[in-house]
Structure 1
Amino acid sequence: MSRPLTLIHGWGMSPAVWTSLRAGFAATHEVFTPALPGHDAHCDRAIDEGDWVAKLVDALPDQSAVIGWSLGGQLAMRIAIDHPHKVSRLVLVGTTPCFVQQPGWTHALDADTVTGFRNEFANDPSQTLKRFVALQAMGEADRKGLSRELGKALIPVDSDNAGTLARGLDLLSTIDLRSELSRIGCPVRIFHGSKDALMPEGAAHWLADHIESAQLTCFDDAGHAPFLSRPEEFRRLVRRFLDG
């Protein structure tokens, strides 16, 4: 069996979002799908932000191939930077080094939009999560179908995990890896939807330009979750990368 494969999901979703991808690699890889804090049945009551990475590091086998999606991709980059023995190959899907616009950084959402989303979550978390699913499906020919598929992996929010989920939004708002990407030493493959409404395509091109030897594939007419909307092509390209 090939090297272990770890799949790190995005904010607001559960590891169930990987069900079909995991099945596609189960015959050739030992597949791990750790949950982000607050995203499973275990109650992580608003743990410190640094503990998000520590929890994932504990769940990763050494020399794992890692696929990180959205916030999961940002955390996977942080692990590859600070714990290089954990990541042998890195696949980034629909992610960015910096989620919020900064001076000189336009490949992101503006700060007011992100602040508004965080306020909406604080006031009505369940409805905000449903809106988040709709945003992820934007740009897809079958928006309703993809929304239904994403909805199956949407986590229920309650008083036990709402605080930790809010910390996840804090991470999205504050992570900025742009100055540290040169420290990623493993092979990197980047996938992005050309119509991603959450992570602009320009961020993916920027990543490809600033991570040594990284390769980028953009899926035309795809949104934030191309591994679900383009499953066969995505699996084929990832397998080629992992076997290379």
Structure 2
Amino acid sequence: MSLHVQTLGSQGPDLVFLHGWGLSARIWESLAGRLKTRFRCHLVDLPGHGESEAGPAGLNNWVDAVMNTIEQPAVFIGWSLGGLVALGAARRYPERVQGLVLVATLARFVREPGNDYGMKTQAIEATRRGLSEDFSTTLSEFLMQQVLGEPGAGRAVRSLRNDLMDQPPARDALERGLDILFEADFRDALPGIVQPALVVAGARDRMAHPDAMAAMVDTLPNAEFWRVDRAAHAPFISHEKPFADRVAAFAWDCAKPGRDA
């Protein structure tokens, strides 16, 4: 299965951008516009999102679809659900992942005994029910939750909503994305993911708590943590320029010739 990819830039190291649930690769266009003179930015539509066909269900199948589309080694930048795909790529294809930028991503997104952070099971199931009862309202409300408390919330909501309205995802893809959020658990796998990682948390994030992301850094062997003040779930939108600068410095370091993972 081949996914739709938009590539910006023609020189420099390769960056692969993986978007969050319900959206498309277009959410990265503004950020990639800042990076395209120094990097080749590959903006991937995940299965059933944007212009990509749905394909098989399951995180491993989504990871394989991405890696069948992006064949060269790259730094993978994953936001929320996209971060789980990036982690899966690092685990299944370690030689092709030069580094990871994990944005608002948790090793385990479901709150349960032994895991005090993440989303409650009831909230995920309510979102699932809402998809069949009121598709557009459910998605819009989900997007609003991601930027609450950010200084640029209005701009962020417009960016997210425009992406959603222009390229609405397939409903079965949304269901499969929720399944991945509900089922994925990288807690035991983190010690074996040795690639350099930049873990980026919004200080006001209500979905991926910054303390939980900081705990991930303690488990990943080669990770650094960046807590973005006044940001919520989408720091690459609300704090675009500092985000671009930090990612550029990290990615250049990851892509140095001879750099070991």
Whether the TM-score (by the shorter chain) exceeds 0.5 is: yes
Residue 138 of structure 2: aligned partner: 128
Q: Deviations over 1:95-116 (max 9, x none)?
A: 1111101211011122112221
Q: Deviations over 1:21-75 (max 9, x none)?
A: 1111111111111111110234326x22132111111122332011111100011
What pairs with 1:1-244 in structure 2 (closer than 5 Å)? Answer: 1-44=11-54, 47-49=56-58, 50-154=60-164, 156-157=167-168, 161-244=170-253
Contact 1:4/1:64 (CA < 8 Å) preserved in 2?
Answer: yes
> For residues 21 and 142 of structure 1, what CA distance do their matches in structure 2 show?
15
> For residues 54 and 61 of structure 1, what CA distance do their matches in structure 2 show?
11
Using the size of structure 1 for normalisation, the TM-score is 0.94
> For residues 51 and 17 of structure 2, what CA distance do their matches in structure 1 show?
18
Q: Deviations over 1:155-208 (max 9, x none)?
A: 5447xx211211111111111110001111211111110111221112211111
Contact 1:146/1:228 (CA < 8 Å) preserved in 2?
Answer: yes
Which runs of 5 or more residues in structure 2 are unaligned?
1-10, 254-261
> For residues 65 and 72 of structure 2, what CA distance do their matches in structure 1 show?
14
The percentage of counterpart residues that share the same residue type is 30
CA RMSD of aligned residues (A): 1.5
> For residues 40 and 14 of structure 1, what CA distance do their matches in structure 2 show?
5
Which runs of 5 or more residues in structure 1 are unaligned?
none
Q: How many residues align?
A: 241
